[in-house]
């Protein structure tokens, strides 16, 4: 029996649909990669397998003269109105890239409204600032210069002071043909900041195959980190910093905070978009070097990492974490402490 052309087309379409359905069922039925590993495989080998977390990359190969100029600018107090503050005042390179204060102190003693995040590994974030208002390091670098609570200056003032320094002006001309401009200032600072990667943390070594890099407690904490769902937000190369999330998914953090009234800074992403769904939404912070970067959260209200973990369990996961769980999670978080870039090592 023969088929006409229309019949053949209908048959081919039906066969294709059937094939897709079979393939979909097969893929659904297959166990996950971890489940396909034989039970005799070492537990560490199973735990090392994850698509959500990846090792920190090597420091990018950037022009050394531009990096050097960026570091000089990063540490130059002339970026502030009264020559009292530099970028390193709030992002101290000797203390994990931040100032260990709840809120940083600006020109004339002005107090900031949010906790200053670490500058280390900031280049790996998908946006900058807690509310994500800056899309790049260059955009972020311009913010503190103009913020009245921080450097309280402007580009005309900054460039005027820097141009008066003949040596500095000449060095700038060597690096940038256009000379001393606002765009080149932030480009140099951002270039330097892209070198501030804290590689070779124990967890990075573990992800690269060193199964002894994590002790039993840290490995248990890593397992719990995944089982609880922490990894759904704290993921990627920076173990955070690649998405926005509401602070208080499972309970009202700001309603329970009690001792602190809700301030404008607590509104988070809402201050940028004006959308009600962005109220109390913030950029998920990176957990790299988190053991060194207390106090915690945008409001700097928590001094101890154990307390921060307990709060995250309650308000983000809806769980009352046990002391054992908190202890193991903190052990894992300690494994995220990396080494200073070679350029900063003494």
Residue 193: active-site member: no
Q: Tokens standing for 168?
A: 């500095």
Q: What is the spatial distance between Cα 115 and Cα 300, in angstroms, rounded to a whole number?
A: 5
- Which H or E element spans position 175? helix 166-175
Protein fold of 45-56+198-344: Cytochrome Bc1 Complex; Chain D, domain 2 (1.10.760)
Q: Which of 108, 244, 128 is nearest to 186 (CA)?
A: 128
Q: Which of 281, 301, 272, 306 is nearest to 291 (CA)?
A: 306
In this prediction, residue 31 carries a pLDDT of: 35
Residue ranges of domains in the chain: 45-56+198-344, 64-193
In this prediction, residue 51 carries a pLDDT of: 52
What pTM does this model have?
0.84
In this prediction, residue 195 carries a pLDDT of: 96
In this prediction, residue 257 carries a pLDDT of: 87
Q: What is the spatial distance between Cα 155 and Cα 79, in angstroms, rounded to a whole number?
A: 9
Q: Which of 22, 137, 342 is nearest to 129 (CA)?
A: 137
Q: What is the spatial distance between Cα 4 and Cα 241, in angstroms, rounded to a whole number?
A: 59
Q: What is the spatial distance between Cα 74 and Cα 96, in angstroms, rounded to a whole number?
A: 15
Contacts of 285 (CB under 8 A, 6+ apart): 117, 130, 240, 241
Q: Confirm if 289 and 338 have CB atoms less than 8 A apart.
A: yes
Q: Tokens standing for 156?
A: 């005309």
In this prediction, residue 26 carries a pLDDT of: 33
Is there a common fold for 45-56+198-344 and 64-193?
yes
Q: Tokens standing for 148?
A: 């009245």
Burial letters 165-181, b for 16+ CB under 10 A, else e: eeebeebbeebbeeebe
In this prediction, residue 41 carries a pLDDT of: 36
In this prediction, residue 286 carries a pLDDT of: 98
Q: Which of 316, 249, 310 is nearest to 277 (CA)?
A: 249
In this prediction, residue 346 carries a pLDDT of: 60
Torsion of the alpha carbons at 118, 124, 127 and 129, rounded to the nearest 10: 0
Catalytic residue selected from 138, 150, 193, 325? 150
Q: What is the spatial distance between Cα 188 and Cα 192, in angstroms, rounded to a whole number?
A: 6
- Which H or E element spans position 7? helix 5-29
In this prediction, residue 187 carries a pLDDT of: 98
| DSSP secondary structure letters along 324-342 | HHHHHHHHHHHTT--PPPG
pLDDT tens string, the chain, 346 residues long: the values are: 444 444 444 444 444 434 434 333 333 333 333 333 333 334 444 444 445 799 999 999 999 999 999 999 999 999 999 999 999 999 999 999 999 999 999 999 999 999 999 999 999 999 999 999 999 999 999 999 999 999 999 999 999 999 999 988 899 999 999 999 999 999 999 999 999 999 999 999 999 999 999 999 999 999 999 999 999 999 999 999 999 999 999 999 998 987 778 999 999 999 999 999 999 999 999 999 999 999 999 999 999 999 999 999 999 999 999 999 999 999 999 999 999 887 787 6
Three-state SS annotation for 10-61: HHHHHHHHHHHHHHHHHHHHCCCHHHHCCCCCCHHHHHHCCCCECCCCCCCC
Report the CATH architecture of 64-193.
Orthogonal Bundle (1.10)
């Amino acid at each position: 029996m023969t088929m006409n052309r229309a019949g053949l087309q209908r048959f081919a379409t039906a066969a294709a649909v059937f094939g897709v359905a079979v393939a979909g069922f097969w893929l659904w039925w297959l166990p996950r990669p971890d489940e396909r590993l034989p039970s005799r495989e070492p537990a560490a080998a199973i735990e090392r397998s994850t698509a959500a977390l990846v090792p920190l990359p090597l420091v990018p190969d950037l022009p050394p003269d531009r990096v050097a100029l960026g570091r000089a600018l990063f540490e130059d107090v002339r970026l502030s109105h009264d020559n009292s503050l530099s970028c390193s005042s709030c992002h101290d390179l000797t203390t994990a890239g931040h100032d260990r204060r709840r809120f940083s102190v600006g020109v004339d003693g002005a107090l900031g409204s949010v906790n200053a995040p670490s500058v280390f590994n900031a280049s790996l974030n998908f946006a900058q600032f807690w509310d994500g208002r800056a899309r790049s390091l260059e955009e972020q670098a311009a913010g503190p210069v103009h913020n009245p609570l921080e450097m309280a200056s402007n580009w005309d003032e900054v460039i005027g002071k820097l141009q008066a320094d003949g040596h500095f002006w000449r060095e700038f001309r060597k690096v940038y043909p256009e000379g001393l401009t606002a765009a080149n200032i932030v480009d140099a600072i951002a270039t330097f900041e892209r070198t501030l990667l804290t590689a070779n943390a124990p967890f990075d070594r573990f992800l690269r195959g060193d199964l002894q890099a994590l002790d039993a407690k840290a490995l248990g904490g890593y397992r719990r980190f995944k089982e609880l769902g922490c990894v759904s937000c704290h993921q990627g190369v920076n173990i955070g910093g690649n998405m926005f999330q509401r602070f208080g998914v499972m309970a009202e953090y700001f309603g329970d905070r009690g001792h602190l009234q809700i301030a404008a800074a607590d509104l988070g992403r809402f201050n940028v978009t004006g959308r009600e769904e962005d109220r109390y939404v913030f950029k998920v912070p990176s957990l790299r070097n988190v053991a060194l970067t207390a106090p915690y959260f945008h409001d700097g209200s928590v001094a101890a990492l154990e307390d921060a973990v307990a709060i995250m369990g309650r308000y983000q996961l809806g769980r009352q974490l046990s002391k054992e769980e908190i202890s193991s999670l903190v052990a894992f978080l300690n494994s995220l402490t990396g080494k200073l870039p070679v350029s900063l090592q003494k």
